[in-house]
Chains A and B, each alone.
Chain A
Amino acid sequence: MIDSLYRDLIIDHYKFPRNFRRIESATVVKEGDNPLCGDKITLYLKVENGKVVDVSFEGSGCAISQASTSLLTETVKGKQVEEIKCIVGEFLAMLTEGKQPSVDLGKLLALEGVKNYPMRVKCATLGWHTLEQALKEIG
């Protein structure tokens, strides 16, 4: 059962986070944290003509929060903002409402097991809520 939470992909993204850097010329920089657990991330987005051309993050915290944010960066890079908003909605609904996603979430499905651990859902959603806020700022 624990393997459904800590899938190899998650451990891999925790140990070797992708796009773990700062973007100096970012369009938006957004911080997110879970004060109760001490999970922290900073998300950098570079947007050109409605498209996320680069994305990165920095942070510290549990495996779930960091791996989820790492996967996030891989997922949204090169996508249109509108498409990303849809993915964010589907991803959050999968974890918080247990909804079957209506689009293919690909690698993100590795995080589906988190929904069986209610106390940990906020770890998995931290990066995504931060992304939501960041996208609002772009308009």
Chain B
Amino acid sequence: MLYDVYKEFPLIYRNRGSLVYLDNAASTQKPSIVIEALADFYFESYANVHRGIYKLAEKATALYEEAREKIAWFIGGRKEEVVFVRGTTEGINLLAYTLSSRLSAGDEIVISVMEHHSNFVPWQIVTSMRSLNLKVVDITEEGDLDWKDFENKITEKTKVVAITHLSNVLGTLNDIRKVVEIAHSVGAVVIVDGAQAVARLKVDVEELGCDFYTFSGHKMYGPMGIGVLWGRYELLEELPPWQGGGEMIEKVTVYNTSFRKPPHRFEAGTPNVAGAVALSKAVDFISSVGIDNIEAQEDELVSYILERFGELRWVSVVGSPKVRKGVVSFTVDGVHPHDVATILGNDGIAIRAGHHCAQPLMDRLSLSATSRISLGCYNTKDEIDMFFKSLENVRKVFA
């Protein structure tokens, strides 16, 4: 167990005993190293990037580009393949708009029913704008991707497959290599929504074989407002710009502009430099703890949670995927998830209740909402015990 990691998180450490934070899929808390990196940047290195020729601007630019390098290393990509964005949502929107501009009416985009709204809505928008077809792969009763359905939905017309690496509701870890194998057989590109995965297991984009991988800083112990879109360089190079403005241009005349090469082509305007620098510190943090250690600890806690839930006849766990990571959704017989979350919240247990930005999945499961536990590296077994103690209160109140 990672005994002392929680001490690195001021908000967790200071509230230990009165706050049990189990809403890490929504956002993780921040370690000191990340909070200090934000402050340090503004105290010591602040200037705009890629513009000034003075020392301070050089320093800020160097930090920004070093952050890019660090993040590339973290996911096994190349520096020039890392585009800084606002988060997963922006990464997917960037791809939806730029990729679809190259498609023709009748071409197909394939996603799955377990996607977060951020991997649904952008595709709905661009498919209706450009007369493309959106196809949605079903899940099995256990909550795994339905591979038969997947193979059926993939055709010669499929150009893009966009799938989550790890479901924020079911905890399902999807076999991305298998997705890639099937998608590439018809020449489709594969986009992976890595929002829930990067802080939970080792991600190596080369090993996964996908074409694009996108994630948010705030769900991996980094700051809000910064995220990453990784793409294969050859593919990024073919994509048109998305937003236009400063930073992304080579030369601008009154009527024409030539664009820079990736990644800068996709970073119009002043970027979130402080965020990028602090995100690279989040990578340092994860590396120092060891992503494998985080994974092992979360796996152990997930097993414990499932075991404890198994003893409660009045609780149902949602889904039983082959491989589950860090996330467990559940329902309590006769009690609405919002009432569950309110009663737990009253005991200092922070869990999420609702549709988790996955309404199509809720419809598929015939549920209006679930309660959800999602783990972070600082969660401990005694916190899980506190959760279960509080869960008994839910039963008492509704007895």
Residues of chain A at the chain B interface (Cβ within 8 Å): 1-3, 5-6, 11, 14-15, 36-38, 60-64, 117, 119-120, 123
**Contact status A36-B354, CB under 8 Å:** yes
Contacts of B343 in A (CB 8 A): 2, 6
Known pairs A15-B398, A38-B354. 4 more at Cβ < 8 A?
Answer: A3-B397, A38-B369, A63-B335, A117-B342
| B332-364 interface (Cβ within 8 A of A) | 334-339, 342-343, 346, 354-355
B258 at the interface (CB under 8 A from A): no
Contact call B393/A2, Cβ cutoff below 8 A: yes
Nearest residue in B to A36 (C-beta to C-beta)?
B354
Residue numbers in A under 8 Å from B337 (CB-CB): 62
Given contacts A11-B397, A11-B398, A37-B369, contact A64 B339 (CB under 8 A): yes
Alpha-carbon distance between A3 and B343 when the two chains are bound, in angstroms: 10
Complex CA–CA separation, A39 to B295 (angstroms)? 36
B393 touches A62 (CB 8 A): no
Asked whether any CB of chain A lies closer than 8 Å to the CB of B303, the reply is no
Tally of contacts, chain A with chain B, CB under 8 A: 44
* B101 CB-CB contact with A under 8 Å: no
- What residues of chain A lie closer than 8 Å to B15, measured between beta carbons? none
Q: Count B interface residues, CB 8 Å.
A: 16
Specify which chain B residues have a CB less than 8 angstroms from the CB of A37 in the assembled complex: 338, 354, 369
Taking the complex as formed, is B368 at the interface, i.e. its CB lies under 8 A from any CB of chain A?
yes
Cβ of B337 to closest chain A Cβ, rounded Å: 8
Question: Shortest Cβ distance from A114 into chain B, in angstroms?
Answer: 10
Q: How far is the CA of A2 from the CA of B340 in the complex (A)?
A: 11
- Among all A-B residue pairs, the 9 with the closest Cβ atoms: A38-B368, A62-B336, A62-B338, A2-B346, A6-B397, A63-B339, A62-B339, A38-B369, A37-B338
Given known pairs A37-B369, A63-B339, A123-B338, the reply for A2 and B355 (CB within 8 Å) is no
A35 to chain B, nearest CB (A): 9
User: Hey, which chain B residues are within 8 Å of A2, CB to CB?
Assistant: 342-343, 346, 393, 397
Q: Among residues 380 to 399 in chain B, which have CB atoms less than 8 Å away from a CB atom of chain A?
A: 393, 397-398
Q: Which of A3, A11, A37, A61 has the most CB of B within 10 A?
A: A37
Query: Cβ of B398: which chain A residues have Cβ within 8 Å of it?
Result: 6, 11, 14-15, 63
In the assembly, what is the distance between CA of A37 and CA of B338, in Å? 8
Min Cβ gap A66→B in Å is 8
In this complex, what residue of A is CB-closest to B393? A2
Q: How far is the CA of A3 from the CA of B399 in the complex (A)?
A: 13
A sample of 21 inter-chain contacts (CB < 8 A) reads A2-B342, A2-B346, A2-B397, A5-B342, A6-B339, A6-B343, A15-B334, A36-B354, A38-B355, A38-B369, A60-B368, A61-B336, A61-B368, A62-B336, A62-B337, A62-B338, A63-B335, A63-B336, A64-B338, A119-B342, A120-B338
Annotate B249-282 by CB proximity to A: 1 below 8 A, 0 otherwise. Answer: 0000000000000000000000000000000000
A15: chain B residues at CB < 8 Å are 334, 398
Chain A residues with CB under 8 Å of B336's CB are: 61-63
For B398, the closest partner residue in chain A by CB is A11
Which of A1, A36, A38 gathers the greatest number of chain B CB atoms within 10 Å? A38
Q: Output the nearest chain B residue to A38 by Cβ-Cβ distance.
A: B368
Query: How far is the CB of A117 from the nearest CB of chain B, in Å?
Result: 6
Which chain B positions have C-beta within 8 A of A3? 397
User: What residues on B are CB-neighbors of A61 within 8 Å?
Assistant: 336, 368
